[in-house]
Amino acid sequence: MPMQEMQIAHHDCGDCPIRHRAVCARCEADELTALEQMKYYRSYQAGQTVIWSGDRMDFVASVVTGIATLTQTMEDGRRQMVGLLLPSDFLGRPGRTTAAYDVTATTDLVMCCFRKKPFEDLMLATPHIGQRLLEMTLDELDAAREWMLLLGRKTAREKIASLIAIIARRDATLRLKAPKGALVFDLPLTREEMADYLGLTLETVSRQISALKRDGVIVLDGKRHVTIPDFDRLLEEAGDDSDGGMPG
Amino acid sequence: MPMQEMQIAHHDCGDCPIRHRAVCARCEADELTALEQMKYYRSYQAGQTVIWSGDRMDFVASVVTGIATLTQTMEDGRRQMVGLLLPSDFLGRPGRTTAAYDVTATTDLVMCCFRKKPFEDLMLATPHIGQRLLEMTLDELDAAREWMLLLGRKTAREKIASLIAIIARRDATLRLKAPKGALVFDLPLTREEMADYLGLTLETVSRQISALKRDGVIVLDGKRHVTIPDFDRLLEEAGDDSDGGMPG
DNA sequence: CTTCCTGTTTGATCTGGGTCAAGGCTTTGC
DNA sequence: GCAAAGCCTTGACCCAGATCAAACAGGAAG
C-alpha cells in the first residue's frame, strides 16, 4: 500500500487551496471547524503511484509539499503528462467517482485530503469553496491551453526553454522571491518526465538541455541544479511574448 | 463592427449553459427573471472575429448556434487552436477583464450574452450558477487534457481520426441521435482550421484525410460531407481505448 | 575498493511530417 | 461566357526529432 496517514500540525497546511485560514478569517467559525475536522494527511515516497486511472477515488486533496504528475497512457505505452501538481494545487473532481489519470509522486509528497462525500456536502453549503475551486480550475484551464500551444507548435528547444521558465516561475512564486535577477533552483523532474511533459523523447530533452547550456541560456551544476542568468533571454528562447505571464 | 444585437424568442436559447429553464424548474422565479432580464443576443457571420486576445471583454456568453474557435498565435504567426466552442459551450471568464485568446466565428454564430458585472453579482447570489460553471469548466479541462495527449503523442493519422471522432460525437450528441450505426455530418472546419486544431499543416491534414478515405475509414462526399460506416474502426484509428468517452 | 543500477549523454541513422511548388475544383462577380 | 479568389489536393524534397546503440556518471550495496 503506497499510502500512509500521518499527523501534521494544523498550520502546516497553509497552502491548501481550500484556504482553511482564509475561510476562518472571513466566515463563520463552524465552516472552519467543518473543514478542519474532515481533513487528514497522506504522504507518499518519490516514485510511488498515488492512484491509477480508472481506480475508485473517494477523496479530493491538495498538495502540501512535493510534486505530483497526472499522466495519460495509450495502450502501446506512449505517455503524455497532462498535469503537474505543485504545492497548493488541487487534485480530484467533485462529482466524479473514478480517477481519469494516473497520479504519481515524482518527489516525496504530502497531501491534505478530504473524503469526497462530506467535502461535496460542504461545498453545497459553503459557496466560498465552490467559488475558490472554480477560480483554480479556470487557472488550470489557462495553463492547459498554454501547454497546448507548446505541444502543438513549439520546437524542441522552445519546449525545453518554456518548461524551465515555467518551473523557475512557480519556484520563485512559491518562495515569494523577486522574479528578477539570477534564478537558482533544482529541476524536480527527470529527463524522461520532462519528455513526457513536452511530447518529446528523453534523448531530445537531453540534447536540447545541453544546447541551452552550451549557448549560455542556462548554467547547469550537476544534472539537476540550474541557474538562469537572464530570465528574459530564457523567455525569448521559449518563444513567449515578453512577460510570459509572470505573476506579480 | 462585427457585432449586431438581435431579438430571439426566449425559448430559442434552450441550450444556454446557464440553463434558464432548468433554473426556472428547480428554483425560485426571481432567479429566472434576473437571468432573463440581463441576457441579450449577438450574431456574427462566418469568419468574423468575435474578440481579439488582449481586448477588453465586458461580457460572458454561451453559444446558441454555430461554431467558434479560441486560438493562440505566436509573434511569428504560428497558430494553435486551444478551444472549440459548439452550441451550449460557454465563453468568458468571471473575474477577468481582458480576453486571453482570439475568438473567431467559423460558421455563422449566435451567442447568448450577459454583461459581466451583473452576471458576476448574480453568480455570488445564486450558487447554482457557479456550480454549473464549475462543472462545465471541469469538463473543458478534461477535454483539454485529452487534446494534450493528441498533440503530444499521436501521429498525424491518429490526430485526424481523433478529430473526426470528436466532431461526430458532439454532432450526434447535439442532435440526440443514437451513436451507433452510420454517422453522417458535415465537417464544420476548413483544412487549415483542422491543422490549427491538430498542430499540423494543412497539407498533412489533406493527405491524411485522403488516406483515411482511400482505406475506407471514412466516406467523403465533396470536401466536407462525411459518412462514418464504422465508428469503432474510426476509434481504433484514433488510438483511443474502446469507447473513447462517448457519452450516453 | 568494485559492482550494480539508474539516470544521463552523445553518436549514427532513419523517417514522419514540414516546406515549397504546381494544379484542380467551386463559387462569386462581371 | 470568362476571370479571380478560396479552398483543396498532390508531388518532390528536406530536416527536426525519433530511433537504435553505446558509453558515462554518481550513488548505494557489498
Work out the pLDDT band at A2, boundaries 50, 70, 90.
Answer: very low
**What CATH number belongs to B4-147?**
2.60.120.10
Are B179 and B165 contacting, i.e. CB atoms less than 8 angstroms apart?
Answer: no
What distance lies between CA B70 and its chain's CA centroid?
9
ipTM at complex level: 0.89
pLDDT at A23 (0 to 100): 40
Are A81 and A193 contacting, i.e. CB atoms less than 8 angstroms apart?
Answer: yes
Question: Is residue B248's pLDDT more than 80?
Answer: no
**What CATH number belongs to B154-238?**
1.10.10.10
Question: What is the longest distance spanned by two Cα atoms in chain B?
Answer: 58
User: What are A3's three cell numbers?
Assistant: 499510502
Work out the pLDDT band at A125, boundaries 50, 70, 90.
Answer: confident
pLDDT tens digits, B194-221: 999 999 999 999 999 999 999 999 999 9
With an 8 Å Cβ cutoff, are A148 and B151 in contact?
yes
Structural element, H or E, at residue B243: none
Strand A79-85 and strand B219-221: the pairing is: unpaired
Question: Is residue A1's pLDDT more than 90?
Answer: no
> Which of these, A99, A97, A78, A91, lies nearest to A42 by C-alpha position?
A91
Are A34 and A121 contacting, i.e. CB atoms less than 8 angstroms apart?
Answer: no
pLDDT at A19 (0 to 100): 52
Work out the pLDDT band at A225, boundaries 50, 70, 90.
Answer: very high
Least confident segment among A166-175, A217-226, B74-83:
A166-175
The string over A137-155, giving b where at least 16 C-beta atoms fall within 10 Å of a residue's C-beta and e elsewhere, is: bbebbbbbbbbbbbbbbbe
pLDDT tens digits, B102-140: 999 999 999 999 999 999 998 888 888 888 899 999 999
Please give the average per-residue pLDDT across B18-34, as a whole number: 48
Sign of the alpha-carbon torsion through A236, A136, A32, A94: negative
Question: Is residue A243's pLDDT more than 60?
Answer: no
Sign of the alpha-carbon torsion through A66, A72, A75, A79: negative
Please give the average per-residue pLDDT across B39-56, as a whole number: 94
- The CATH-assigned architecture of domain A155-238 is Orthogonal Bundle (1.10)
User: What are A129's three cell numbers?
Assistant: 469553496
pLDDT at A13 (0 to 100): 55
Please give the average per-residue pLDDT across B145-158, as a whole number: 98
Give nearest nucleotide to A78 (CA–C1'): D18
Closest residue, CA to C1' of D6 = B190
Strand D positions within 7 A of protein Cβ atoms: 7-12, 16-21, 26
Q: Which residues contact A115 (CB under 8 A, 6 or more apart)?
A: A38, A58, A59
Q: Is the CB of A220 under 7 A from strand D?
A: no
Domain spans in chain B, listed from the N-terminal domain onward: 4-147, 154-238
pLDDT at A183 (0 to 100): 86
> Which of these, A26, A71, A62, lies nearest to A41 by C-alpha position?
A62
With an 8 Å Cβ cutoff, are B152 and A101 in contact?
no
The burial of A67, by beta-carbon neighbours within 10 Å (0-12 exposed, 13-18 middle, 19 or more buried), is given as: buried
Grid cell 482505406 is found at B215
The mean pLDDT value of chain A amounts to 85
pLDDT at A93 (0 to 100): 93
pLDDT tens digits, A155-195: 999 999 999 999 999 888 777 666 566 789 999 999 999 99
Work out the pLDDT band at B32, boundaries 50, 70, 90.
Answer: low
With an 8 Å Cβ cutoff, are A199 and B80 in contact?
no
Which residue in the set A74, A137, A145 is minimally distant from B137, CB to CB?
A137
Question: Is residue B36's pLDDT more than 80?
Answer: no
Q: Which residues face B69 on adjacent strands?
A: B84, B104
Question: Is residue A63's pLDDT more than 70?
Answer: yes
Work out the pLDDT band at B165, boundaries 50, 70, 90.
Answer: very high
Give the chain B residue whose CA is nearest to the CA of A148: B148
pLDDT at B172 (0 to 100): 83
Are B117 and B59 contacting, i.e. CB atoms less than 8 angstroms apart?
Answer: no
The string over B87-112, giving b where at least 16 C-beta atoms fall within 10 Å of a residue's C-beta and e elsewhere, is: bbbbbbbbeeeebbbbbbbbeebbbb
The string over B181-218, giving b where at least 16 C-beta atoms fall within 10 Å of a residue's C-beta and e elsewhere, is: eebebebbbebebbbbbbbbeeebbbebbeebeeeebb
